[in-house]
Amino acid sequence: MTVWIKLGALGDLSRPMLRAQGLLEARFGTVYVNSIREWAPGRKGWSLHWRGDAFDVSFKEDEIGATKAEVVEALPDGYDVVEYATSFHIEWDPKGGTD
């Protein structure tokens, strides 16, 4: 099992996101982390990347490598999964409570 992290994508992850990374690695084997703590003006209003509660991943080097249903199934309640063309945006965003 391997986790590949894109150069420049490093940053601190919250404990729930570290848990998600481990669950995804256990399910899919190889995880390509494309973005963790990227910063952009105005992003705080809609993305949880800035506080370490989100990352973008794929499961094959140049393609998405899984279906959204497979990713959702691999994670417990409290995680949101958004599918993009080449990756998934995954964030810890529990409704009505925190971990």
Q: Structure pTM?
A: 0.76
DSSP string, 26-63: HHHSEEEEEESS---TTGGGT-SGGGTSEEEEESBTTB
Average pLDDT over residues 20-39: 82
Each residue of 47-61: b (16+ CB within 10 Å) or e?
bbbebbbbbbbbbee
Bigger pLDDT: 13 vs 29:
29
pLDDT reading at 92 higher than 60 = yes
pLDDT reading at 35 higher than 70 = yes
Q: What is the pLDDT of residue 73?
A: 96
Q: Report domain 2-92's class.
A: alpha beta
Q: What is the pLDDT of residue 52?
A: 77
Domain ranges of the chain: 2-92
